[in-house]
Amino acid sequence: MKILNLNEGSFPIEMNLNLNSIDIPDIGTLKDTLDVELKISKLSLNLFKCDGYIYAKFIDTCQNCLRDTEVLVDGSVDITIKDIKELHLDSSEQDQTHYQDLEYFNIDNLIEEELALIYPDIVKCDRSCLEKEDALMDEKNLPFKKIRDLID
Ligand SMILES: [Zn+2]
């Protein structure tokens, strides 16, 4: 766990992290390391910007055939950081804003939030696994369709 005090120090803060674990429920098992490169810049008092990228490979389960499936997570980070105190004052409802205590800023929380956003909603062993199953279903239904045609 890495805690920064964003109220002090010099900017930009540049980080190159290789994490061995990440605490997010309902995602696959991390393979190798989670590689994160982040740069936090100060835009004005209480307003920061974070950009960089997250790269990792996970072993997850194909939602269709339940086979072990490698999931490549490779996404960029481009968000605004504000103090948690501003969460209720902010009416702009920007979803690209990350709120946290600036004095005890936990970089892991930010990484977890971003990773959860980047991680695919649907895990498939290959691009067409779900579609293939649909095609199979159609074929299985064909005899019934023929019988129905006969009845008609
Ligand atoms: Zn599959």
Q: What is the pLDDT of residues 90-144, one digit of tens each?
A: 776 666 899 999 999 999 999 999 999 999 999 999 888 877 655 555 555 555 5
C-alpha of residue 54 to centroid of ligand 1, in Å: 25
Q: What percent of the chain has pLDDT over 70?
A: 84
Q: What is the pTM of this model?
A: 0.80
Is residue 147 in a domain? Answer: no
**Tokens linked to 148:** 């129905």
Is residue 61 in a domain? Answer: yes
Is residue 59 in a domain? Answer: yes
Q: Which domain holds residue 99?
A: 3-125
Average pLDDT (15-37) is: 93
Give ion ligand 1 contacts, CB < 5 A: 62, 64-65, 125, 129
Is residue 152 in a domain? Answer: no
C-alpha of residue 77 to centroid of ligand 1, in Å: 29
Is residue 134 in a domain? Answer: no
Residue 6's nearest CA partner among 110, 120, 124 is 110
Is residue 135 in a domain? Answer: no
C-alpha of residue 106 to centroid of ligand 1, in Å: 36
C-alpha of residue 100 to centroid of ligand 1, in Å: 38
Q: What are the start-end ranges of the E strands in 3-144?
A: 3-4, 13-19, 29-44, 47-61, 68-83, 97-100, 105-106
Count of structural domains, the chain: 1
Beta bridge partners of 44: 47
